[in-house]
Amino acid sequence: MPKSIIIIGAGMGGMAAGIYGQMNGFETRIFEMHNRPGGQCASWQRKGYTFDACIHHLMGCSPEMRINQIWSELGVMPRELAYTKECVSVVSSDRKVFFDYYDTDRLAEHLQELAPQDKQVILDYIEGIKLFAKYDIMGELMVGGIPGILKQLPAIPKITKWFKPTMADFAKRFSDPFLQKAFPLLEYSMPFLPFAIHLSKHACGLKRDIAWPIGASSGFSDSMAKRYEDLGGEMHCRRKVSKIIVKDGKAIGVKFGDGSEEYADIVISNADGRNTLLDMLEGRYMNARLKEYCSEPEDESNWAVHVFLGVNHDLSQEPSSIIMLLDHPVTIAGHKTDSLDMQLYGFDKTMAPEGKGVIKVELVSKYSYWKELSTDRIAYEEEKQKVAEQVIELIEKYFHGIRSQIEAIDVPTILTWERFMGGTHGFCNGPNKKPDFIGNLIKNNDMIIPGLENFYFVGIWATSMGALFANALSGKKAIQRVCRKEGVKFTTI
């Protein structure tokens, strides 16, 4: 009899675990609380516009690169893709624009025009991108196994110098005041990230490994769900798991809110780790490490609000993504900022009716801010409207007259995420711990719970990485682990 697996949640990790589980002869069932699969990888329709809450940069789009292997195994590649010219662009209040072009020749020329006096730092930037482009470090380390890791060894002495400076440190090397302000923000407005992350991503863009999937985030998730069901997997939506049933130290099934139960030999959770450990397992398996993981981060600021605008305005000639530097700091949703991050979907005609477009503005805020407001429904709705109003006023400075062209508005907050996907920490839904890339890579310790057998975590709780491919890969790693334990030869056929 094939062994059975219950998977809690149909995010990237859960669906990947289901797909690889089916490939390896297990009988799998996924129970998903939302009415559709995909988890954070989600988009939806409003008045003919598609609003996408997830993908900016999808890695693994080039068949030449390692990560693509995962996507093709999972049935999401090849697919129709759109490529953008730039990674991001930054615009100052006096309309100076820096396009962070993927093409390094074009980028060098553009930077020289903006800041001829910064020749050396520009050369270093371009050289850094080209250096990272020579290797497939992320792909080989994560997917290539021991041979892949060995292949990347010559890169190590050359790239290590790029891990020390942060985005902010590198920016300080420019004498041009505009580039000094622009560079810290290039990697999702996180100046504290190592500059190497930006170089590595830029290099992937240069090699056309980063693209946008036509059909948006839900189209991407739907392809994975289809692959799962084509392999015979059972997807059950609107089924929220409330407890994990344990017997003799082994996970043996799950219980739902209505009291019904389902049993299996193995349970895999793609749900939020805090919910899994504290609610579904009632805190019985906590140790010092897991207590620390479940604690609140010092600063719970997060991408907690999106403002989506469907506009009767052609965005096809606009950059794909703009960071607007503001004249004066503004406080939006309790968070003070002097820049505004927006994505413009003019590169994908399917996102809006002919000649129209979608603008998404992402804002940092706190879960606690919205949770407190939500105790008064009217106050919560009023704050969402106020946020939209502030955003519209600011982007009017870039798109004059945009206010009168708005046809659809949606303002999901982190509470929307909580309602549909359980987790309370949005993009940062992982454990509260210092990044430990190598530890995760080698030991995968976060995938298991000491003292509980036949249980595995997949997704962001297992990887601590807010990346689609990494969380999908965790599903593969979990099934490889199960196969080793059960003496089954792992296959991807």
For residue 439, the minimal CB distance to ligand FAD (Å) is 18
Pick from 5, 6, 12, 332 the residue near ligand FAD by CB under 6 A: 12
Pick from 3, 5, 6, 8 the residue near ligand FAD by CB under 6 A: 8
| Strand partners for 30 | 7, 235
Which residue stretch of 6-14, 190-198, 243-251, 448-456 sits at the interface with ligand FAD (rule: CB under 6 A)? Answer: 6-14
For residue 93, the minimal CB distance to ligand FAD (Å) is 26
Interface with ligand FAD includes 281 (CB under 6 A)? no
Closest CA to 179 of 315, 323, 50: 323
What's the CA gap between 259 and 281, in Å, rounded?
A: 16
HSE (side-chain half, CA atoms, 13 Å) at 111: 25
Interface with ligand FAD includes 223 (CB under 6 A)? no
Pick from 24, 40, 84, 200 the residue near ligand FAD by CB under 6 A: 40
Exposure string for 347-368, b = 16+ CB within 10 A, e = fewer: bbeebbeeebbbbbbbbbbbbe
Q: 214 Cβ partners below 8 Å, 6+ apart?
A: 79, 80, 81, 82, 348, 350
Interface with ligand FAD includes 277 (CB under 6 A)? no
Pick from 11, 21, 139, 184 the residue near ligand FAD by CB under 6 A: 11
What DSSP letter does each residue of 23-34 carry, written as one string? HTT-EEEEE-SS
Interface with ligand FAD includes 344 (CB under 6 A)? no
What's the CA gap between 59 and 68, in Å, rounded?
A: 8
Pick from 5, 17, 53, 340 the residue near ligand FAD by CB under 6 A: 53
Q: Which residue is nearest to ligand FAD (CB)?
A: 11
59 φψ region: left (φ > 0), alpha (ψ -120 to 50), beta (else): beta
Binding-site size, ligand FAD (CB under 6 A): 39
For residue 141, the minimal CB distance to ligand FAD (Å) is 16
Interface with ligand FAD includes 41 (CB under 6 A)? yes
- What tokens were used for 201? 């991503």
Give whichever of 60 and 128 is closer to ligand FAD, judged by the CB atom.
Answer: 60
What's the CA gap between 133 and 135, in Å, rounded?
A: 5
Closest CA to 84 of 276, 318, 382, 283: 318
Kindly give the residue spans of alpha helices, DSSP state H, lying in 44-194.
67-73, 104-114, 119-133, 137-143, 145-152, 155-159, 167-172, 177-182
For residue 146, the minimal CB distance to ligand FAD (Å) is 25
Give whichever of 181 and 213 is closer to ligand FAD, judged by the CB atom.
Answer: 213
Closest CA to 72 of 197, 188, 223: 223
Give whichever of 58 and 121 is closer to ligand FAD, judged by the CB atom.
Answer: 58
Give whichever of 357 and 430 is closer to ligand FAD, judged by the CB atom.
Answer: 430
Interface with ligand FAD includes 56 (CB under 6 A)? yes
For residue 14, the minimal CB distance to ligand FAD (Å) is 6
Q: Could you give the string, one character per residue 142-171, with x where binding to ligand FAD holds by CB under 6 A and - elsewhere?
A: ------------------------------
Binders of ligand FAD among residues 402 to 431 (CB under 6 A) are 421-423, 426-427, 429
- What tokens were used for 130? 């080209």
Say if residues 30 and 53 touch (Cβ distance below 8 Å): no
For residue 384, the minimal CB distance to ligand FAD (Å) is 17
Pick from 26, 31, 51, 135 the residue near ligand FAD by CB under 6 A: 31
Say if residues 101 and 85 touch (Cβ distance below 8 Å): yes
Pick from 76, 137, 271, 342 the residue near ligand FAD by CB under 6 A: 271
Give whichever of 199 and 204 is closer to ligand FAD, judged by the CB atom.
Answer: 204
Say if residues 411 and 387 touch (Cβ distance below 8 Å): yes
Give whichever of 195 and 457 is closer to ligand FAD, judged by the CB atom.
Answer: 457
Give whichever of 179 and 414 is closer to ligand FAD, judged by the CB atom.
Answer: 414
Say if residues 357 and 346 touch (Cβ distance below 8 Å): yes
Q: Could you give the string, one character per residue 445-484, with x where binding to ligand FAD holds by CB under 6 A and - elsewhere?
A: --------------xx-----xxx--x-------------
Interface with ligand FAD includes 57 (CB under 6 A)? yes
Closest CA to 270 of 469, 458, 472: 458
What's the CA gap between 368 and 293, in Å, rounded?
A: 18
Which residue stretch of 32-40, 156-164, 244-252, 292-300 sits at the interface with ligand FAD (rule: CB under 6 A)? Answer: 32-40
Interface with ligand FAD includes 36 (CB under 6 A)? no
Length of the chain equals 493
Rounded to the nearest 10 degrees, how much is the dihedral formed by the CA atoms of 105, 107, 110, 112? -80
What's the CA gap between 65 and 135, in Å, rounded?
A: 10
Interface with ligand FAD includes 243 (CB under 6 A)? no
Give whichever of 24 and 218 is closer to ligand FAD, judged by the CB atom.
Answer: 218
Interface with ligand FAD includes 9 (CB under 6 A)? yes
For residue 132, the minimal CB distance to ligand FAD (Å) is 18
Which parts of this chain interact with ligand FAD (CB under 6 A)?
8-14, 31-34, 39-41, 53-58, 240-241, 270-272, 275, 303, 421-423, 426-427, 429, 459-460, 466-468, 471
